[in-house]
Amino acid sequence: MEKWKMKSNSLNKRHIAILGSTGSIGKQTLDVISYHRDAFEVELLTANNNADLLIEQALKFTPNSVVICNTELYEKVKNALAHTDIKVFAGVESAGELAGAEDVQIVVAAMVGFSGLKPTIAAMKRGKIIALANKETLVAAGSIISSLSQQYNAPIIPVDSEHSAIFQCLQGERTRIEKIILTASGGPFRNWDISDFEKITPKNALAHPNWDMGAKVTIDSATMMNKGLEVIEAAWLFNLPVDQIEVIVHPQSVVHSMVQFTDGSLKAQLGYPDMRVPIQFALSYPDRIELNTQRLDFVQLKELTFFAPDMKKFPCLRIAYDAFRKGGNAPCAISGANEIAVNAFLNGKIKFIQIPQVIENTIQKCTFVSAPTLDDIFETNSQAQRIAAEIVGAM
Ligand X SMILES: NC(=O)c1ccc[n+]([C@@H]2O[C@H](COP(=O)([O-])OP(=O)(O)OC[C@H]3O[C@@H](n4cnc5c(N)ncnc54)[C@H](OP(=O)(O)O)[C@@H]3O)[C@@H](O)[C@H]2O)c1
Query: DSSP of 213-269, one letter per residue?
Result: --HHHHHHHHHTHHHHHHHHHHHHHHT--GGGEEEEE-TT--EEEEEEETTS-EEEE
Binding flag, residue 163, ligand X (CB under 6 A):
no
90 forms part of the interface with ligand X (CB under 6 A): no
Instruction: State the Rg of the chain over Cα.
Output: 20
The residue range among 110-118, 175-183, 195-203, 364-372 that interacts with ligand X, by the rule CB under 6 A, is 110-118
Q: Which of 14, 135, 190, 313 binds ligand X (CB under 6 A)?
A: 135
Site string for ligand X, 143-162 (x = CB under 6 A): -----------------x--
Site for ligand X in 275-314 (CB under 6 A): 275
Is 214 a binder of ligand X (CB under 6 A)? yes
* One of 50, 143, 204, 292 touching ligand X (CB under 6 A): 50
Question: Which stretch, 127-135, 166-174, 176-184, 233-241, contacts ligand X (CB under 6 A)?
Answer: 127-135
- What's the closest the beta carbon of residue 92 comes to ligand X, in angstroms? 5
Q: Is 48 in the site for ligand X (CB under 6 A)?
A: yes
Region of 253 (left: φ > 0; alpha: ψ -120 to 50; beta: rest) is left
| Under 8 Å between Cβ of 334 and 325 | no
Q: Which of 39, 47, 316, 323 binds ligand X (CB under 6 A)?
A: 47
Q: Which three-class secondary structure state does DSSP give residue 47?
A: strand
> What's the rounded Cα separation, in Å, for the pair 43 and 64?
5
Nearer to ligand X, 206 or 268 (CB): 206
CA-angle at 381, arms to 132 and 29, nearest 5°: 20
269 touches ligand X (CB under 6 A)? no
User: Given the rule CB under 6 A, which of 5-13, 82-90, 130-138, 258-266 is the region that contacts ligand X?
Assistant: 130-138
Q: Identity (one letter) of the amino acid at 308? A: A
Provide the minimum distance between the beta carbon of 279 and ligand X in the complex, in angstroms, as a whole number: 9
Are the C-beta atoms of 362 and 338 separated by less than 8 Å?
A: no
The four Cα atoms 307, 308, 314, 316 give a dihedral, to 10 degrees, of 130
Q: Does 133 bind ligand X (CB under 6 A)?
A: yes
The DSSP code for 186 is -
Nearer to ligand X, 165 or 177 (CB): 165
Does residue 77 touch ligand X according to CB under 6 A?
no
Selected binder of ligand X within 152, 192, 197, 211 (CB under 6 A): 211
Report the amino acid identity of residue 23: G
Residue 392 has, within 13 A of its CA and on its CB side, a CA count of 25
Residues 305-364 that bind ligand X (CB under 6 A): none
Residues that bind ligand X (CB under 6 A): 20-26, 47-50, 69, 92, 110-112, 115, 133-136, 160, 211, 213-214, 216-217, 275
